[in-house]
Amino acid sequence: MTELLKVEDLWVQFTSKSGVVKAVNGTQFTLEAGRTIGLVGESGSGKSVTVKSIARLLSKNAKVTKGSVQFQGKDLLSLPEKQMRRIRGREIGMVFQDPNLYMNPIIPVGKQVMEPLLFHAICSEKEAQERAIEMLRQVGIPSPKQRFKEYPFEYSGGMLQRALIAMALIANPTLLIADEPTTSLDVTVQAQILYLLKKMKETLNMSMILVTHDLIVAAQVCDEIAVMYGGMVVERAPSQMFIKGPRHPYAIGLLNSTPRVKGEIERLKPIEGSPPDLRGDFPKGCLFAPRCPFKTTQCEEERPPLREVGKNHYVACWVDTREVSV
């Protein structure tokens, strides 16, 4: 398959009143054309900062200090902003957590959905309106001609998220970035939105990055899972391979603390301790070592690289967790 995106040794930090926060610390992964990768991890693991770095949507107090983001052979991090604006919304579509933050309350929803077509001069205003109504229909909004004229406050949360997806997809992007797209929705609507994203991805033959804290959701929607901890990828594998046998201690703990429906009731196993403080100097060793039941002296002294332990299966850990027990 053709490699569409390659994130290599990406480092991002934020300047705040409490000091420098090292939010992303050497993240690396690839995405092939037509595939979906899920970025999974606790809050603060660097998932959202990573995808916002790809789209060049970081806040003013953020700085990429190292690394590259290769998209269709172009390094997005080195492009002038004018060129990046041609890519955003056209080649890369984006869906974020809270649609209310990204929809203008005083402009009809349909006008906002058709905006990418007009901004990128893809078609006339009349055709843009027709395509927006059709896209609203495709994402499951009833009476799209009528809904086209309505304002965001007239939409429910789930409907507004569908409209945001329509806006992200209307220019037929090559890559869709979906950053926790179901966080603010109830469980039933969450399932509908995830099904819609999967369906639209297949219909449009695009690639997708799904950011989520839910491993089960990632396994259902994504071809591959990349687990992040402390601003870096600690394990990456095809979804079914990962669910059957995670290898990094953090990934194992994440899966064990995820509710699953079985015949019997099982007590969840939480991961002891807290995520690392990303301010100040980092410890020399593995960032997960203070919480790890498998840690050795080497873990505390030397940071493990992300290395291949099986076909398309990469783990950043010194210990082979299949050979030890706690």
Query: 81-140, pLDDT tens digit by residue?
Result: 999 999 999 999 999 888 888 899 999 999 999 999 999 999 999 999 999 999 999 999
Q: What is the pTM of this model?
A: 0.92
Identify the pLDDT of residue 261.
55
- Strand extents, DSSP E, the chain: 3-16, 19-32, 36-40, 62-71, 74-75, 92-95, 175-179, 207-212, 224-229, 232-238, 307-310, 313-315
Q: Is the pLDDT of residue 263 over 80?
A: no
Phi then psi for residue 212, to 5 deg, are -155, 155
Q: Is the pLDDT of residue 20 over 80?
A: yes
Contact between residue 234 and residue 251 where contact means Cβ atoms under 8 Å apart: yes
Q: Is the pLDDT of residue 267 over 90?
A: no
Query: Into which CATH architecture does domain 3-91+173-323 fall?
Result: 3-Layer(aba) Sandwich (3.40)
Which of the four pLDDT bands, split at 50, 70 and 90, describes residue 187?
confident
Which of the four pLDDT bands, split at 50, 70 and 90, describes residue 18?
confident
Q: Where are the domains of the chain?
A: 3-91+173-323
Which of the four pLDDT bands, split at 50, 70 and 90, describes residue 150?
very high
- The encoded tokens of residue 133 equal 């109504």
Q: Which residues contact 43 (CB under 8 A, 6 or more apart)?
A: 213
Q: Which of 93, 78, 94, 71 is nearest to 4 (CA)?
A: 71
Residues 174-185: pLDDT tens digits?
Answer: 999 999 888 767
Residue with tokens 């939105």: 193
Contact between residue 148 and residue 133 where contact means Cβ atoms under 8 Å apart: yes
Side-by-side strand order, sheet with 74-75:
19-32, 3-16, 62-71, 74-75
The residue ranking higher by pLDDT, 60 or 190, is 60
Identify the pLDDT of residue 118.
95
- The encoded tokens of residue 221 equal 């929607």
Residues, the chain: 326
Which of the four pLDDT bands, split at 50, 70 and 90, describes residue 214?
confident
Mean pLDDT of the chain: 90
